[in-house]
Amino acid sequence: MSDAAANQPLKTADGIPLKASLARAESRARRKAFLLVLPLLAFILITFIAPIGQMLHQSFYNEGFTVREDVVSGKRTPIMVNLKQWFDENPQGSEPDEAAYAALAADLLHLQELRAAGSAGTRINYERSGSRSMFTKGARNAKKLEPPYKEAILDLDDEWSDPELWQVMRDASSGYTINFYLAALDRAKNADGEIVMVDPERQVYVKLFIRTLVLSLLITFLTFILGYPIAHLLATLPLRYSNLLMILVLLPFWTSLLVRTTSWMVLLQSQGVVNDALVASGLLGDENRLQMMYNQAGTVIAMTHILLPFMVLPLYSVMRPINPSYVRAARSLGATSFTAFRRVYFPQTIPGIGAGALLVFILSVGYYITPALVGGADGQLISNLIAFHMQKSLNWSLAAALAALLLGGILILYWLYDRLVGIDNLKLG
């Protein structure tokens, strides 16, 4: 072969350079792979990423004080233009003067014409209770207001002079605000715009976050204590027996969550099966029945039972492949049964423990039905308050802020798990 022929690039049978043909084939393979995962990617974007993004946006955006949006036509109409202009022209902390009240009077008249006083008042009522009635009353009497406007408006309700109200209206004059996150952390802005803690009787959310964290950790620990022996038994029994017992572990998945929760209500109530059995056996007097319903005890008991399979299955998947000869070898070398378990068997199950604990904890902090039915006021979690703001108070922005904080806490937990244990060691099956 001549030197010129040796220096020629390799070609395929159809004369295309081999390098270009390989690049083209790899490009086709990547396109095929992308098209195969495209439906799943679209499903995740539409049902998961987009709703979370909308929730995060809703948590710091609410323009109900400045814009009225028609539900049917979607038409958006500015409603507090004059007051917003006064806020833009006057710095933070400015005391409302006659011009401010004149702007307020003009906007109240506009609210009456658009019948949007309720919308504007509701937005302010999220942060200062009692404000909605002030706006509706002011809009009804807007045509009667005459200069001097300050005296006329204060004659309607002297609460209009409250500096806190004007600070709330200033913050609400912009659609974007951090006030919902402040409220979710039991904080607010005072009349000077400084961030302060709310009154002790209004401090609800931080306590609920702490309660959710503590109860979720307790439930995770209890499922581990109960699930580890069950998983070990399933992993060490002969396959024909373990498969039979596995049906009992999986049986709750075939039963409605609502049915399981109401079953615990029947068991735990004061006149329920558990208390009746304790009274009949003489362990308790009829007047000393245990209170296990509508409190934290009921929430912990019911959720531990419901979430137990989520701890057992990851543990079982890790324990099953462990060779029992490792423990026998350790014992033959002089280790006690406890030492062999602690130094040989238990370390091999840590990936399953981590997976089960992470799964149970994440499910616990977001549980809703069981705490609502069994926990009562004392045993409810932050998820129940999120549902309340979504369904009853209709303060979707505050609900979104609470949910965003909960999501952020879960992501921090996930990051800490990755740093301390490693996601690569996570085994779910």
Residue 225, amino acid: I
Segment 155-188, tens digit of pLDDT: 999 999 999 999 999 999 988 999 999 999 999 8
**Same domain, yes or no: 273 and 149:** no
Neighbours of 25 (CB within 10 A): 10
- For 342-372, what is each residue's pLDDT tens digit? 999 999 998 889 889 999 999 999 888 889 8
Shared domain check, 147 and 289: no
The string of pLDDT tens digits covering residues 96-152 is 999 999 999 999 999 999 999 998 999 999 988 889 999 999 999 999 999 999 999
Please give the average per-residue pLDDT across 327-341, as a whole number: 89
Q: Are residues 310 and 226 in the same domain?
A: yes
Q: Which of 200, 226, 257 is the last residue of a domain?
A: 200
Taking a C-beta distance cutoff of 8 angstroms, is the pair 237, 245 a contact? yes
88 is in which domain, residue-wise?
67-200
Domain co-membership, 167 together with 239:
no
Is 429 a residue whose pLDDT tops 60?
A: no
pLDDT at 141: 94
Residue 220: predicted pLDDT = 96
Residues 237, 105, single domain; the answer is no
Of all residues in the chain, what percent carry a pLDDT higher than 70? 94
Both 224 and 119 in a single domain?
Answer: no
The count of domains in the chain is 3
Q: How much is the mean pLDDT over the chain?
A: 88
d(CA 287, CA 282): 12
| Confidence at residue 385, expressed as pLDDT on a 0 to 100 scale | 92
Output the pLDDT for position 387: 92
**Is the C-alpha dihedral spanning 176, 180, 186, 188 positive or negative?**
positive
- Considering only residues 9 and 110, tell me which one the structure prediction assigns the higher pLDDT: 110
Residues 240 and 288 in one domain: yes
Question: Cβ contacts of residue 169 below 8 Å, gap of 6+?
Answer: 65, 83, 87, 124
Query: Pick from 200, 230, 250: which residue ends a domain?
Result: 200
Asked whether the predicted pLDDT for residue 300 surpasses 60, the reply is yes
- Verify that 195 and 221 share a domain, yes or no: no
CB proximity list for 114: less than 8 A, separation 6 or greater: 68, 77, 79
Q: 424 falls in which pLDDT band (50, 70, 90)? A: low
Q: Are residues 334 and 408 in the same domain?
A: yes
Contact 175, 66 (CB under 8 A): yes
Structural domain ending residue among the three candidates 200, 224, 248: 200
Query: Are 212 and 318 part of one and the same domain?
Result: yes
Mean pLDDT of 212-239: 94
Shared domain check, 142 and 21: no
User: Residue 407 — very low, low, confident or very high, per pLDDT cuts 50/70/90?
Assistant: very high
The answer to whether the beta carbons of residues 179 and 400 sit under 8 Å apart is no
At 23-76, the pLDDT tens digits run 888 888 999 989 999 999 999 999 989 999 999 999 999 888 999 887 677 788
Q: What type of residue is 29?
A: A
Average pLDDT, integer, range 398-410: 93
Task: For residue 21, name the pLDDT band (cuts at 50, 70, 90).
Answer: confident
Q: Is a pLDDT exceeding 80 seen at residue 425?
A: no
Is residue 1 predicted with pLDDT exceeding 60? no
Task: Please state, in angstroms and rounded to a whole number, the distance separating the CA atoms of residues 151 and 226.
Answer: 69
Using omega within 30 degrees of 0 as the cis cutoff, is the peptide bond preceding 148 cis?
A: yes
Model confidence pLDDT, tens digit, residues 252-268: 888 888 889 989 998 99
Query: Does 75 share its domain with 160?
Result: yes
Q: How much is the pLDDT for 415?
A: 86
Section 294-299 average pLDDT: 90
Q: What is the mean pLDDT of residues 216-230?
A: 95
